[in-house]
Amino acid sequence: MQVLEEACSKKGFQPSSDYELRHGIGRKVVDPTLTMRYAGLANNAKLELVKASQSRATGGTVIVALQTDSGRLQESFSCDTSLWDILLHW
């Protein structure tokens, strides 16, 4: 995400949620939630900054699942909920 934000700011594009980074022959989208180490990029890979087909929504909800000895707990939370608040919920 940091690389995407930096590329957008250098080009004067705002907001960065309207753009994405692509790489490779098939022009695969780089997942902005991954670190570069786990993004599956080759050494010295060239990235392309392109307009996203869909804008990434900021905010919203996420589903969190917690596996315990007694079973699996699953609940929806707001994106701005802290991990501590999620643990307190259960």
pTM of the complete model: 0.54
Average pLDDT over residues 44-68: 79
Q: Is the pLDDT of residue 76 over 70?
A: yes
Q: Indicate the residue type of 86.
A: I
Mean pLDDT, range 72-76, rounded to an integer? 90
Q: Which one, of 22, 3, 5, lies nearest residue 58 by Cα?
A: 5
SS3 label, residue 29: strand
Enumerate the β-bridge partners of residue 66. 73
pLDDT (0 to 100) of residue 17: 75
Same domain, 36 and 7: yes
In this structure, the answer to whether residues 45 and 63 fall within a common structural domain is no
Whether residues 42 and 78 share a domain: the answer is no
Across residues 3-21, what is the average pLDDT?
A: 81
Same domain (yes/no): 39, 71? no
Q: Can you give the residue range of the structural domain that contains 47?
A: 2-51
Neighbours of 30 (CB within 10 A): 21
Same domain flag for 10 and 42? yes
Residue 6: pLDDT band (50, 70, 90) is confident
55 pLDDT higher than 70: no
